[in-house]
Amino acid sequence: MRLSRRALLAGGAATLAPLPAFARDAVYPAPDREAMLPVPGGRVYVRINGGLNGPRPPLVLIHGGPGGTHTGMLDALALADERAVILYDQLDSGRSDWPQNPVNWRVPRFVDELEAIRRGLNVPRWHVCGISWGGTIALEYAARQPAELVSTVLGGPLIATKAWLADADALRAALPAAARATLLACEGATPPAPAACDAATDVFYRHYNRREDAPAALREAARAVGNRGFNQRLYETMWGKSEFVSTGTLRDYDGTPLLARLDGARTLFMVGQYDEARPVTALGFAARIPGGAEVAVIPGAAHGTLSDRPAETVGILRAWLTRHDTHPL
């Protein structure tokens, strides 16, 4: 569920965007505001670009992992020309506190964390976009039916572990024969050397996780002072060590029943053409939401849509947010 195991987490067309995303050689803007906000279990790092009191509801983005950071979502700051964009590191990740207490590593606490950020920033209404594992948090938050929620975007989301693993198996089966055979052997009783497993996993990621190299500005942001980066222990505790087998606390996670509590008119699934969360699976989940949710497929992108196709992803988000800004509560 990570946009990269080692570095960072991070159906429309670019013509949907009235303004482009950042150029690949751009420098990301400094935050207009930073804060360490209290949440259940500690404090989390939050950065805001744009005015929270502007005419359009803010957008908060939830990063993947578990254990990732906000840096993989920096391209979404292009939307700050129209509204406030809120990014944050979940507890025990990035620049947030690291109490490293597994009692905090529960889905409901991460959802409470999101609501604590809204209250801490005094935001009356907002759009919520969760990517990958962040999509799990967004799903759970939207299922609570908070009055403050304007719309929900589920980007390549983990909705159910069983479905995620089925997608991973299907995509692994489509890999070149050598990589496929190695990955299968890595799950066996006598696995190959770790280096061979890592190399085969990298082939999988290059196909379905992130197809483009991260720009220099994104790599630099991941090395910022105070950013402790990805939390491997958190990831392995909640998910496990392999993309293809879940042994952690999320191994039996099933948020499918929650889909019935979402508003189809205000829910968007956003996936890459080559996403680990396959478009066909997203379509199935969208159909289970009352009224049916919309599905946007980003051409040419894998799981990291903002990394692979930032202009197209920002364009989809910009159009969706604008269309739903005035949705009545």
Digit-coded pLDDT (tens) for 26-52: 789 999 999 999 999 999 999 999 999
Q: Whole-prediction pTM value? A: 0.93
Question: Is residue 294's pLDDT more than 90?
Answer: yes
Rounded to whole angstroms, what are the CA distances from 82 to 52, 110, 250, 266? 11, 28, 36, 19
Give tens-digit pLDDT for 115-133. Answer: 999 999 999 999 999 999 9
Query: Tell me, what's the pLDDT at 12?
Result: 32
pLDDT score for 55: 95
Q: Quick one: pLDDT at residue 4?
A: 33
How many Å apart are CA 44 and CA 93, to the nearest integer? Answer: 9
Q: Which residue has the higher pLDDT, 16 or 276?
A: 276
The per-residue pLDDT for range 56-106, each reduced to its tens digit, is 999 999 999 999 999 999 999 999 999 999 999 999 999 999 999 999 999
Q: How far is CA 242 from CA 190, 204, 227, 291, in A?
A: 15, 12, 25, 36
User: Is the preceding omega at residue 310 within 30 degrees of 0, hence cis?
Assistant: no
Mean pLDDT across the chain, nearest whole number?
Answer: 92
Rounded to an integer, the average pLDDT of 201-207 is 96
Task: Please tell me whether residue 104 adopts helix, strand or coil conformation.
Answer: helix
202 confidence band (pLDDT: 50, 70, 90): very high
| Residue 301 CA: distances (Å) to CA of 121, 205, 307 | 33, 12, 8
Residues 296, 80: Cα–Cα separation, whole Å: 21
Model pLDDT, residue 219: 86
- The predicted pLDDT at position 301 comes to 98
CA distance linking residue 269 with residue 114, whole number of Å? 20
CA atoms within 13 A on the CB side of 159: 29
Encode pLDDT of 153-183 as tens digits: 999 999 999 999 999 999 999 999 999 999 9
pLDDT for the residue numbered 24: 64
Question: So what's the pLDDT on residue 14?
Answer: 31
- Report residue 39 CA to chain centroid gap: 20
Instruction: Measure Cα distances from 159 to 98, 163, 272 in Å.
Output: 26, 8, 16
Alpha-carbon distance of 66 to 85, in angstroms, equals: 21
pLDDT by residue (tens digit) across 93-109? Answer: 999 999 999 999 999 99
**Hey, where are the domains in the chain?**
14-160+213-324
Report the C-alpha gap between 175 and 195 in whole angstroms. Answer: 18
14-160+213-324 adopts what CATH topology? Rossmann fold (3.40.50)
